[in-house]
Chain A
Amino acid sequence: MAAKENLDILIVGVGGQGTLLASRVLGRYALERGYDVKLSEVHGMAQRGGSVMTYVRMGSRVASPVIDEGGADLILAFEKLEALRYRHYLKEGGHILYSTQEIMPMPVVTGAAAYPQGIEKELPGTGVDALALALEAGNAKAANSVMLGALCKKLGADRAAFEAALLACIPQKTVEMNKKAFDLGYAAV
């Protein structure tokens, strides 16, 4: 991240998965590194299982808080189908870091649509079994820390600073679990 002028990260997932934590951590990290930074998220329906996306943009000077289609350096996806849904936001040569978790959307549950098969083949990037690693760390809820660990490694970001940003954003009593999850994610990619 240090070598690059501007870095645009799109975070996608399913409402309730805790995607907002990831953007908060990235924002904090960027701020401490002295970057200009803008985050944008759409609240409202987010809690209720809908598809959600958050933009994180950092660099020497950031104007728009929104990442355009074809503009993301990296997509951090907390669910596989969501990674595919927003794939067209990726820049040429960009990377998708995704959790291999599958969450069925309502049209699939009701039988109106099928969950696409072979998504991995369509995604230029790296899959992480974040759910399994989170359970190993202690709870399914730690999946976002697993993904952040993996992200830190992929970005070549300063590990200590990144981890400190994460720990500053979570409740005190979950520090141990999230640290472990972060390490597992870091080691997974």
Chain B
Amino acid sequence: MKKLLLGDFAVARGAWEAGVQVASAYPGTPSTEITEELARYDDVYSEWSPNEKVALEVGIGASIRGARAIVSMKHVGLNVACDPLFTASYTGVNGGLVIAVADDPSVFSSQNEQDTRLTAVSAQVPVLEPSDSAEARDFTKYAFDLSERYDTPVILRLTTRVAHSQSLVELGERQPAVLKTYERDIKKYVMMPANARVKHTVVEERMARLAADADGMEINRIEEGSRDLGIICSGGVYQYVKEALPEASVLKLGMVWPLPMGLIRKFAAGVKRCIVAEELAPHIETQVRAAGIAVEGKSVFPRCGEFTARLIRECVLGAAPAQAPADVPARPPVLCAGCPHRGIFYVLTKLKLNVLGDIGCYTLGAVPPLGSMDAVVCMGASIGMAIGFDKADPEAHKHSVAVIGDSTFIHSGITGLVDAVYNKARVTVIILDNRTTGMTGHQNHPATGKTIKNEPTYELDLAEMCRAAGVRSVRTVDPYDLAAAEAAVKAALAEEEVSVVIAKRPCVLLAKKLYTGFRVNDKCKKCKACLKLGCPAIVNGKNGIEIDVSLCTECGLCKGVCKFGAIEGEVK
């Protein structure tokens, strides 16, 4: 049966068909749907781990014990999981271990545009790259076989366009899930120096064997066309090349590390002009040139941003550029109407504080008119950066705060808080506890008390967690109560030690309620004080200030900031 499937769903399907038993992940666009889909299968154990490092360690454990396991994350998640990755490359596997990593060329929803292939080169693990959903399924299955055949973790690299596009997939049956026997093998799995030294040579041999075998792998293939032009490509770029240059000869690489150098040499020799078309880093190009094969690459194509068929045509054939877009106002994403984060950011803006930020919906607190954000780097960084502010500037703690979401705090904020207490930093940490992982589409996490399958489990108490780290001052406030939120932040700033403010209120999208909406009456003086909230439901229209009742979720913030009683409605 053929089905229209999202690339991520096709990876999940492929893993299921391959008899996968354990799936672990931390959410991250555009990889999240792989594990969301796997959670729908009853015969696969799945979990949201607190972060990618733990997720990979769960996968490594399952693999050593003999099960097939898949671990999924976005590109920056692999940074967090690098420590286990680099040594899992040495231990190798028992049950197949596949790591699905989604890159984000053009940075649709990430903090950078890094290229996973380069990490894989350092870690010495093979990388497969599917070009559509059908291949996403096929390559996932192939990856499990490769993993077991060559005793290595395998990275399945996706990009946003492959992960988040839908195309047709032929569905297959699930092969029986087998739990392989496990026997203690200290030389293989215990990576202390004497064993690791030996294992490093094993890894080098494995990669050499993979490289030699790559020439004959069916996932690397030549599609013969014109001898004037040959394009080497992989993944989603292959589809753009087929559309843009239907005449060209194409070498389609299914495995992008290690590379089938014999095949590449033969291909390059058979065409007059040979170009590597790859998004982001010149990974293939650099390797191919190092092997002494003349190719073009980044002299033709850009290093930044995703490609399109049009871009390929323009770069190779010099076709006319597209018509310019109309000059219209931008429409950036904003915190939802009624978002619980808004109250805190309103207070931070009002108090003109320095805000060491973090990653999540609340990063949108950087967007005007709120605009309260000084730095955002990576998940969990807010607390460390606040410590740095305090240690660098003796006055900083009086006017700066760290702001971090609940999921992000658990992901990698806890160690920062432990450092703050241990090293006597005078930081104020605001945990935005909206009871979910909002940014990536509302996944459960350890403090929601629900598993990935929505089953009840132990609910981590964030306030107790902070106290256990040694924080004596922990305040919990409702961010809809602006006066209480402001008072709590001021009190925390006044303290000469670590203080935590937990702003607790569920994400408004979790409620799924029907609202009638607030109204503006004729007492409105057009002072525009309510517009400072940056609520998308409040419109400064032709008839003055209006509330779009189709968007308003009756949070009451605007009523709270209006001095003239011009906003009517009941907070329920």
Q: Given A105-B329, A122-B326, is A48 in contact with B336 using a C-beta cutoff of 8 Å?
A: yes
- CB pair A63–B534 under 8 Å, yes or no, is no
Q: Given A44-B29, A87-B326, A122-B326, is A27 in contact with B4 using a C-beta cutoff of 8 Å?
A: yes
Looking at the complex, which one of A15, A40, A69 makes contact with B323 (CB distance below 8 Å)?
A: A69
CA distance A12 to B324 in the complex (A): 18
- CB pair B329–A107 under 8 Å, yes or no, is yes
Interface string of B438-476 (1 = CB under 8 A from A): 011100000000000000000000000000000000000
Q: Given A48-B361, A106-B331, is A40 in contact with B165 using a C-beta cutoff of 8 Å?
A: yes
| Chain B residues within 8 Å of A27, by CB | 4, 166
- CB pair A106–B368 under 8 Å, yes or no, is yes
Whether a CB of chain A sits under 8 angstroms from the CB of B30 is: yes
- CB pair A43–B109 under 8 Å, yes or no, is yes
Q: B324: shortest Cβ distance to chain A, in Å?
A: 7
Whether a CB of chain B sits under 8 angstroms from the CB of A71 is: yes
| Chain A residues within 8 Å of B30, by CB | 43-44
| Chain A residues within 8 Å of B334, by CB | 48-50, 106
List the one stretch of A77-85, A144-152, A181-189 in contact with chain B. A77-85
Q: Given A45-B109, A108-B329, is A66 in contact with B322 using a C-beta cutoff of 8 Å?
A: no
Whether a CB of chain A sits under 8 angstroms from the CB of B477 is: no
Q: Which residue of B lies closest to A65 (CB)?
A: B165
Q: A146: shortest Cβ distance to chain B, in Å?
A: 15
Interface string of A1-40 (1 = CB under 8 A from B): 0000000000000110000000000011001000011111
Whether a CB of chain B sits under 8 angstroms from the CB of A176 is: no
Q: Which residue of B lies closest to A40 (CB)?
A: B165
Tally A-B pairs: CB < 8 A: 161
Interface string of B1-22 (1 = CB under 8 A from A): 0101000000000000000000
- CB pair A113–B329 under 8 Å, yes or no, is yes
Looking at the complex, which one of B242, B310, B331 makes contact with A63 (CB distance below 8 Å)?
A: B242
Specify the main secondary structure of chain B where it touches its partner. Answer: loop
Whether a CB of chain B sits under 8 angstroms from the CB of A60 is: no
CA distance A45 to B333 in the complex (A): 6
Whether a CB of chain B sits under 8 angstroms from the CB of A104 is: yes
Most buried by B among A62, A64, A71, A106: A64
Whether a CB of chain B sits under 8 angstroms from the CB of A160 is: no
- CB pair A110–B331 under 8 Å, yes or no, is no
- CB pair A49–B333 under 8 Å, yes or no, is yes
- CB pair A15–B333 under 8 Å, yes or no, is yes
Whether a CB of chain A sits under 8 angstroms from the CB of B521 is: no
| Chain A residues within 8 Å of B4, by CB | 27-28, 31, 37, 39
| Chain A residues within 8 Å of B109, by CB | 42-45
From 509 to 538 in chain B, residues with beta carbon under 8 angstroms from any chain A beta carbon are 509, 531, 534, 536, 538
| Chain B residues within 8 Å of A115, by CB | 329
Interface size on A, residues (CB 8 A): 52
Interface string of B533-551 (1 = CB under 8 A from A): 0101011110000000010
CA distance A141 to B368 in the complex (A): 28
| Chain B residues within 8 Å of A31, by CB | 2, 4, 168
- CB pair A106–B164 under 8 Å, yes or no, is no
CA distance A86 to B324 in the complex (A): 10
- CB pair A38–B538 under 8 Å, yes or no, is no
- CB pair A107–B322 under 8 Å, yes or no, is no
From 164 to 189 in chain B, residues with beta carbon under 8 angstroms from any chain A beta carbon are 164-168
| Chain B residues within 8 Å of A62, by CB | 167
Whether a CB of chain A sits under 8 angstroms from the CB of B332 is: yes
Whether a CB of chain B sits under 8 angstroms from the CB of A140 is: yes
Whether a CB of chain A sits under 8 angstroms from the CB of B161 is: yes
Whether a CB of chain B sits under 8 angstroms from the CB of A114 is: yes
Q: Which residue of B lies closest to A38 (CB)?
A: B167
Q: Which residue of A lies closest to B6 (CB)?
A: A39
CA distance A132 to B3 in the complex (A): 36
| Chain B residues within 8 Å of A88, by CB | 322-326
Whether a CB of chain A sits under 8 angstroms from the CB of B358 is: no
- CB pair A106–B367 under 8 Å, yes or no, is yes
From 142 to 182 in chain B, residues with beta carbon under 8 angstroms from any chain A beta carbon are 160-161, 164-168
- CB pair B331–A50 under 8 Å, yes or no, is yes
- CB pair A140–B550 under 8 Å, yes or no, is yes
CA distance A48 to B30 in the complex (A): 16
- CB pair B509–A47 under 8 Å, yes or no, is yes
| Chain B residues within 8 Å of A140, by CB | 550
Looking at the complex, which one of A28, A41, A106, A122 makes contact with B536 (CB distance below 8 Å)?
A: A106
CA distance A110 to B541 in the complex (A): 11
- CB pair B167–A70 under 8 Å, yes or no, is no
Whether a CB of chain A sits under 8 angstroms from the CB of B309 is: yes
Whether a CB of chain A sits under 8 angstroms from the CB of B239 is: yes
| Chain A residues within 8 Å of B132, by CB | 38, 65
CA distance A88 to B327 in the complex (A): 11
Q: B331: shortest Cβ distance to chain A, in Å?
A: 4
- CB pair A82–B160 under 8 Å, yes or no, is no
- CB pair A109–B539 under 8 Å, yes or no, is yes
- CB pair B328–A69 under 8 Å, yes or no, is no
Whether a CB of chain A sits under 8 angstroms from the CB of B240 is: yes
Whether a CB of chain A sits under 8 angstroms from the CB of B243 is: yes
Whether a CB of chain A sits under 8 angstroms from the CB of B412 is: no
Whether a CB of chain B sits under 8 angstroms from the CB of A118 is: no
From 54 to 73 in chain A, residues with beta carbon under 8 angstroms from any chain B beta carbon are 62-66, 68-71
Whether a CB of chain A sits under 8 angstroms from the CB of B225 is: no
Q: Which residue of B lies closest to A15 (CB)?
A: B333
Interface residues of A (CB under 8 A from B): 14-15, 27-28, 31, 36-51, 62-66, 68-71, 81-82, 84-88, 104-116, 122, 140
What are 16 sample pairs from A and B whose C-beta atoms fall under 8 A apart? A37-B168, A39-B4, A45-B333, A49-B333, A49-B334, A50-B331, A51-B330, A64-B242, A65-B167, A68-B309, A70-B323, A81-B328, A85-B328, A108-B540, A111-B540, A113-B330
The 5 closest A-B pairs by CB, nearest first: A44-B109, A50-B333, A69-B322, A113-B329, A68-B310
